[in-house]
Chain A
Amino acid sequence: KAGVTQTPRYLIKTRGQQVTLSCSPISGHRSVSWYQQTPGQGLQFLFEYFSETQRNKGNFPGRFSGRQFSNSRSEMNVSTLELGDSALYLCASSVMGDHNNEQFFGPGTRLTVL
């Protein structure tokens, strides 16, 4: 079974631009979560989607948004990029999204904002 895939793996943008990251969950998984990983703040939860609905959201500004499609694939978008948005963005999928189901992480997209 293929794992969680994220595209692109690396991305370089400049301040003020916007970016879209993509995540394809494991087949049959309906929950997709996004996390931001930085050296200073560690791993922080962005949001979680299940059956195309956002069920949970972390403490990030409105510039961070996401969506999920009917095939469970998910995208996250960051508008008006800031230098502080440079991070590794990790996507995780699970069957239902509850603590009894393991979350499987993708390799991440490394975003650099110049």
Chain B
Amino acid sequence: GNSVTQMEGPVTLSEEAFLTINCTYTATGYPSLFWYVQYPGEGLQLLLKATKADDKGSNKGFEATYRKETTSFHLEKGSVQVSDSAVYFCALSVGNFGNEKLTFGTGTRLTIIP
């Protein structure tokens, strides 16, 4: 089956530090990969996505590269801000029939201290 494994949290960093949140996956077929972010009291928001190998998704200073050889999609940001404090979810979907579900990792809580 399909599964996503992401780095256990919580992660606490100082402002302007470099961020990496690891994500690896197992999938049958060719998945699309996503990072979602959840701020306190809110639903999930799509942060970035990549739909094929070697694609790089980027948004708001965050980046992730679809690595088929290592089945990974690690999230990185060069300089984090307090406003980046949230829970981050790595996810995948597989299929071409228009009914694909998202399979999520367990989430990584990130706290940035000033």
> Which residues of chain A have a CB within 8 Å of any CB of chain B?
4, 31, 33, 35, 42-45, 48, 50, 55-56, 58, 90, 92, 96-100, 102-108
Contacts and interface: CB of A to CB of B under 8 A. Distances in A.
5 contacts: A35-B102, A55-B98, A97-B99, A99-B93, A105-B44
Interface residues of B, number: 28
Interface secondary structure of B, over-half rule: loop
Interface secondary structure of A, over-half rule: strand
Contact of B42 (A55, A58, A99, A107): A107
Contacts, number: 68
A43 B95 contact: no
A42 B93 contact: no
B101 interface: yes
Interface in B81-108: 89, 91, 93-107
